[in-house]
Chain A
Amino acid sequence: DAGITQSPRHKVTETGTPVTLRCHQTENHRYMYWYRQDPGHGLRLIHYSYGVKDTDKGEVSDGYSVSRSKTEDFLLTLESATSSQTSVYFCAIGRGTGLAGATGELFFGEGSRLTVL
């Protein structure tokens, strides 16, 4: 158990409303990631973080923002949800310390299923 919890696990919202998904880890990992998973597209990286207040974009970042004010929490925000953002969102933590960086070995949370009507 990598000590990752995501909340909420399920959410239904309406187009145009803001949504925030939370990822919480208990193991002090530096690297955290948000992916979305859709049929036909697999897992795609939205944003990632390599430390407190250090974040960067992934391949599908449009319409999403993130924040990391504490090591243990990585928040994903949809400022104005659209139907195209209906998806399953996975948070992951990555192993890796020091100058070598992240290894690519990821441990995923249980996922948050978001439906935008």
Chain B
Amino acid sequence: QKEVEQNSGPLSVPEGAIASLNCTYSDRVSQSFFWYRQYSGKSPELIMSIYSNGDKEDGRFTAQLNKASQYVSLLIRDSQPSDSATYLCAVKRPGNTGKLIFGQGTTLQVKP
């Protein structure tokens, strides 16, 4: 079992729809979770971080965390073609080194 698992996709949604990206993790003691976006040929960029159970909203993005189920999700409302990218879920290892374990990423395609 991989430590951080994501469906590689591609996930295809029409423009204006809600895109739902999911991630599960195996280490129950994990406390910090992140979503990075990576456009083709570019470097990853941080878009959301979440540390507590529940929802965290930032503009069109909502991150959801359920530690009991070891599940993290990212919702993108009003999806735009510019949201087409690979979304990487990352879990921080316990401790203060900032080491992250990444999932393989889910490719999102938003069709006009």
Contact B96 A45 (CB under 8 A): no
Q: List 18 A-B contacts (CB under 8 A).
A: A31-B98, A33-B99, A35-B102, A42-B104, A43-B90, A48-B98, A56-B97, A95-B98, A100-B96, A101-B95, A102-B96, A102-B98, A102-B99, A103-B32, A103-B92, A104-B90, A104-B100, A105-B34
With a cutoff of 8 Å between Cβ atoms, the chain A residues found around residue B45 in the complex are 107-108
Contact A105 B49 (CB under 8 A): yes
Complexed CA–CA distance, A107 and B49 (Å): 13
Decide yes or no whether B72 CB sits under 8 A from chain A.
no
Interface residue count for A (Cβ, 8 Å)? 30
Q: Mark A91-103, 1 if CB is under 8 A from B, else 0.
A: 0001110011111
Known A-B contacts: A103-B98, A104-B32, A106-B36. Give 11 more (CB < 8 A).
A31-B97, A31-B98, A35-B102, A43-B90, A48-B99, A94-B98, A101-B95, A102-B99, A105-B46, A106-B100, A108-B44
